Amino acid sequence: MNESRDLLRILLAVTETSPVERLWQSLIDQVADARAEVVTVIVSDDSWRRAASLPFTREISRISGVQAAFTHHRAEQVSADAAGRAREQLEGLARDSQLELEFEVVSEDEDARVATVVTVERDILIAPTALEGKPLFTKLARLHRRVVLVEADND
């Protein structure tokens, strides 16, 4: 068998609230003993940005109870922190499995950017069911031969 046939190309789509361990287990089940190239797309939640655009949105400190306006800058921080946590968790799982991952972060409303992030047709798309009805998912699914949806309790 030639080398390109031995290599599974997988896109793992993860949201900020996805059960990363379940998605990862699904990926491991798909890979089995094959060599795999895994690109991970972390889909950030646009609700932080939408909340920041509302004039009455406030952030309340859990420690002091002090209130502050929830700004676009703060929304970007919250979203980046959530994506960073998902990435760290996936990197830990990848180390344990000896898989290398590439990471991209896209926003739910950046479905047009998918074409620049996913430039090669993939064999398998693994995604949480929470993405199923989104335009981004439709674009991702078109670029894959097989789609594996992972049901999650918190979708």
Domains and CATH numbers, the chain: 3-150 (3.40.50.620)
User: 145 CB contacts (<8 Å, ≥6 apart)?
Assistant: 121, 122, 123, 124
pLDDT score recorded for residue 111: 65
**Token code pair at residue 58:** 């406030």
* pLDDT band with cut points at 50, 70 and 90 for residue 105: confident
Most confident of 31-40, 80-89, 118-127: 80-89
Q: Please, what is the angle between helix 20-31 and helix 72-97, to 10°?
A: 40
pLDDT score recorded for residue 153: 62
User: Whole-prediction pTM value?
Assistant: 0.81
Of the candidates 112, 48, 127, 116, the residue with the CA atom closest to the CA atom of residue 80:
48
Report the relative pairing of strands 101-107 and 122-128 from DSSP bridges: unpaired
**Each residue of 14-32: pLDDT tens digit?**
988 888 999 999 999 988 7
